Copies of this chain bind each other. A is one copy, B any other.
Amino acid sequence: MTSTLKIIQSASSLNAGPTDLTSLASFIETFPLQGESLYSIVFERNSDIVQTQKARFAVANLEKILAATFAVSATSGFDRMSLRDLSRQAGMSMGSIYSCISKKEDIALMIADIVRLSSELTSQHAMQSDSLWSKIEQSIRFHLYASTVLQPWYFFLYFETRCLPQEQQRESKQIELDGIKSFEAHIQRGVDAGEFHTSDARMVANTIVVLLEDWYLKPWKTLSPWKASISVEQQEKQINNYSQSINELVRKLLVDS
């Protein structure tokens, strides 16, 4: 309940400037959940949890803690990550970590909160397009951009959902179901208007969502090493390729034949 309110409040205030989807570079400039502002937002949205009071320290420490969490838990999982591992990786003492957070679980909660906020921004953006087809196209593109910028966050939430309280586990599932329902609704309206042709709008919608998940869950599929941080230009190219692949696939399923 609390987290839902958090999303509504903040998503509307953050979305003052619309996000620019013309390229990854312009997306990064306009997407609020990125760079330094990302950790400021984490701090603001979790001021009840974060113990450190001065924003300057809090933001810097949150960045170190979360980066270390992604690094350690990617290979061994959140449960196996001890706070001693974390403190070593983050270059902070246990005391510093616990002056920032109050429980290990808080780390997972903050990550989940940001991913949910990002999903909220994604679904809000889709509303702004006019044609049904561009709603779908833009939705796919936004999702790919956001889940690339926040790849470790999305990945973490998917695989560590079971570290969260049950209520939040259900919420995560619900977000996936809402994503499918959103695509399904657009498709169904297209079918009703005679613009699309399919006997199973839900299946097509589900396929889109699953392919979007594949993007941030299994970067190793695309042959790209990814670990060696590749340039924005290369990422741009890969996203363009993949979104075009999805678009063509969806067009074949909905428009042709």
Q: Are B256 and A76 in contact (CB under 8 A)?
A: no
Note all chain B residues with C-beta closer than 8 A to A210. Answer: 210-211, 213-214
Please tell me if A206 contacts chain B, counting CB pairs below 8 Å: yes
Task: Give the shortest distance, in Å, between A247 (CB) and chain B (any CB).
Answer: 11
Binary interface encoding of chain A residues 211-237 relative to chain B, with 1 for a CB under 8 A from any of its CBs, else 0? 101100010110000000000000000
Query: How distant is the Cα of A220 from the Cα of B79 in the complex, in angstroms?
Result: 25
Query: How distant is the Cα of A76 from the Cα of B80 in the complex, in angstroms?
Result: 13
Pick from B76, B177, B218, B248: contact of A200, CB under 8 Å = B248
Pick from B75, B249, B253, B257: contact of A203, CB under 8 Å = B249
Task: Give the shortest distance, in Å, between A72 (CB) and chain B (any CB).
Answer: 11
Binary interface encoding of chain A residues 178-219 relative to chain B, with 1 for a CB under 8 A from any of its CBs, else 0? 001000000000000000000110011011001101100010
Given A79-B79, A257-B252, are A206 and B221 neighbors across the interface (CB < 8 Å)?
Answer: yes
Note all chain B residues with C-beta closer than 8 A to A177. Answer: 221
Interface residues of A in 94-123 (CB under 8 A from B): none
Note all chain B residues with C-beta closer than 8 A to A220. Answer: 173
Note all chain B residues with C-beta closer than 8 A to A206. Answer: 211, 214, 221
Given contacts A159-B162, A252-B257, 19 further A-B contacts (CB under 8 A): A77-B77, A77-B79, A77-B162, A77-B163, A79-B79, A173-B220, A177-B221, A199-B248, A200-B245, A200-B248, A204-B249, A206-B211, A207-B211, A207-B249, A210-B211, A249-B253, A252-B252, A252-B253, A256-B256
